[in-house]
Structure 1
Amino acid sequence: MKWIIFIYKVPPQPTKYRAYLWRELKKFGAIYLQDGVCLLPDSDDVHLFIGALGEKVREFGGQESTFLSSTFAAEKDQEMVDQFNLARTDEYNELIPAIERLHSYFEEEELWEFDDEQLRKIREEFQKLLKQFQAIEARDYFEAETGRKVRVRIDRLRKQLQSL
C-alpha cells in the first residue's frame, strides 16, 4: 500500500495557522503520526489537497515536505488502516444521537402526524445529519464497518421522511 506522509512546521504565532492546518487535515481524514507529521493514503485527490496545503504552509512562513512511502510491512499497513478506521468510527458514532433523536420522532408521533413546522424542522435536521455523514464518508478511505451501519440507519430515516 502507498502512503503520503506530509510534514510541516509553521511559526508558533499566530496560532490560527496551526489551527487552520489542523482543521483542513482533519477534514480530509489525515491521521497524525506525531506533531506536524500526517499520513494519508495515496490518491490523486490527496496529492491535489497536499499540494494546495503545502502552498498554504509556505504562505504562512513555514516549511513542508511530502513523501510517498510504500515501505510499510503488511502488518504496519494494517495498523495504519485500523487507525484510519478507528478515527472514522469515532466520527460516525458522534452521529448516532442525532439519528436516534430523529428516529424517536417517528416512534413517538402517533401515525406520524406532523404539522408543517414540525416536518420542516425534522427535514432540516435530517439534511444537516446527511451532510455530516457525507463529509465523514468522503474521508472514510477504508470503509469502516460503522459507516455501513450508519448508512443503513440514515437510509431508513430517508425512507420514513419520503413517506410523509
Structure 2
Amino acid sequence: MFFYTVPSKPVNNRIKIWRRLAKAGAVQLKNTVYLLPFSEEHYEFFEWLTQEVDAMGGDGTFVQTQNIEPMDDGDLKRLFSKQRENDYRDIDKKLDTLERKVNSVTKGSGTRGSKQIEEQFHRLARDLHAVTRIDFFSSEVGKKMKEKMGAVEGALKRMGRDKKECPSPSITSRRVEEYQGKIWVTRTRPFIDRMASAWLIRKFIDKNAKFTFTEDHDAKKLTPQHVAFDIRGGEFTHQGDLCTFEVLVKTFGLSDQALKKIADIVHELDMKDGKYETPEASGIEEILTGIRKTITEDAQALEKGMSVFEMLYAANA
C-alpha cells in the first residue's frame, strides 16, 4: 500500500506519479492511496517511487499488509480486475474494427492493405501484452480477450496462407545420442540464431558441447567429428521458412511451452516475416546487439548470448 502527497505545483509532477502507478498496474483505494499485490518487484518499485516523491518536495511512504479492513481477498481481486476491464475495453473496440477488416479480406475483397492490417494487429497484441502483464489475478475479461486475439491471429495466418502458400520443409529426425562429443561449428560474429542454437545444443543435445567458428566456404572441409550449424552447406541450417533454431527443435523432437516461446522469438528476429507476435523480441534483440557490439571475441560473445537464452527459458518455464 503506497501513500503520497506532492506539492500542487508544478502539476506535471502529480501527473508523472499517477502515470507511473497506472503503468505498474496499481489501483487507487482513496485519493492518493494505491495498492499493488506484494512481490519483490513491486516492493522495489515503491522504494524508488518514494524517493522520487521525496525529491519533488512531497511525502511518500508504503507498507506491506496482509489485510485491509473491511475488504477481504475477493474484494481486492475484484478491485484489480475491474481496473483491468477498463484497460481491456479500449483494446476490445479496436480489435472489433480490425476483425471486420480481416473478415473483409478473407471474404474476397483482395489482399489490399493486408500489411497495414498485420501492423495494426501487432500493435494491439503489444497493448494486450502490456495489460495482461498487470492483470495480476487473471480476470475473466482478460482470458476472453486472449481467446479473441488468438482467433484474429488465426484469421490473419489463414489470410497469409491464402496470399502465398509456403510448404513445410521435410525434416529428418535425429537421435540426441548420435551427437555426443561433437564439435559444433558455426559462422564467426555469432548473433541471434547462432546464439540461440548454441544454447539449445548445450541445453538439450550435448551438455558438454564445444563450439568453434569458421567462414561459410570452409563448411565442406570439416571432419566427421564436426557438426556445422547455421552456415551454408551445414548439417543444420535454414530450411524453407524455418530458422536454424527451429530446424534443431524439429530434428531432435524437442517440445515444451517455454521452448516454443523462444522459437517464436528467434524466428521473428532472424526471419523478420511477421509470422509470430512476440512483444519481447525487440528487447531481446537489443541485449544481443549490445553483446555483439561490446565483445569482439566470438567464443565469449556466444557464451554471453547463450546465457541470455538460458534466462529467457527460466523465465518462461
Q: Report the counterpart of residue 113 of structure 1 in structure 2.
A: 110
Partner residue of 1:154 out of 149, 157, 173: 149
Query: After the TM superposition, which parts of structure 1 deviate over 6 Å for at least 4 consecutive aligned residues?
Result: none
Q: Once the two structures are aligned, what percentage of the paired residues are identical?
A: 25
Unaligned ranges ≥5, structure 2: 161-317
| TM-score calculated relative to the size of structure 1 | 0.89
1:84 paired with 2:80, answer yes
1:31 paired with 2:27, answer yes
Q: SS where residue 133 of structure 1 aligns? A: helix
Matches within 5 A, 1:13-162: 13-72=9-68, 76-109=72-105, 110-111=107-108, 113-115=110-112, 118-162=113-157
| TM-score calculated relative to the size of structure 2 | 0.48
Shift of 1:36: 1.3
- Native 8 Å contact 1:8 1:62 kept in 2: yes
**In structure 2, distance between residues paired with 1:17 and 1:97:** 31
- Kindly indicate which of the two structures has a greater share of residues assigned to strand: 1
Q: Write the deviation string for residues 1-54 of structure 1: whole angstroms up to 9, x where unpaired.
A: xxxx10011111001010001111011111111111111110111112112211
Q: Write the deviation string for residues 46-66 of structure 1: whole angstroms up to 9, x where unpaired.
A: 112112211211121111111
Q: SS where residue 80 of structure 1 aligns? A: helix
**In structure 2, distance between residues paired with 1:107 and 1:48:** 45
- Kindly indicate which of the two structures has a greater share of residues assigned to helix: 1
Output the amino acid matched with 1:138. Answer: R
In structure 2, the CA distance between the partners of 1:142 and 1:74, relative to structure 1 (3 Å rule), is: farther
Q: SS where residue 69 of structure 1 aligns? A: coil
Matched pairs, number:
158
**In structure 1, distance between residues paired with 2:38 and 2:150:** 30
Question: Which one has a bigger Cα radius of gyration?
Answer: 2
Unaligned ranges ≥5, structure 1: none
Q: Which has the higher contact order (CA 8 A, sep 6+)?
A: 1
**In structure 2, distance between residues paired with 1:88 and 1:154:** 16
Q: Write the deviation string for residues 49-107 of structure 1: whole angstroms up to 9, x where unpaired.
A: 11221121112111111100013469522111111011111211221111111110122
In structure 2, the CA distance between the partners of 1:34 and 1:74, relative to structure 1 (3 Å rule), is: closer
Q: Report the counterpart of residue 165 of structure 2 in structure 1.
A: none
- Native 8 Å contact 1:8 1:65 kept in 2: yes
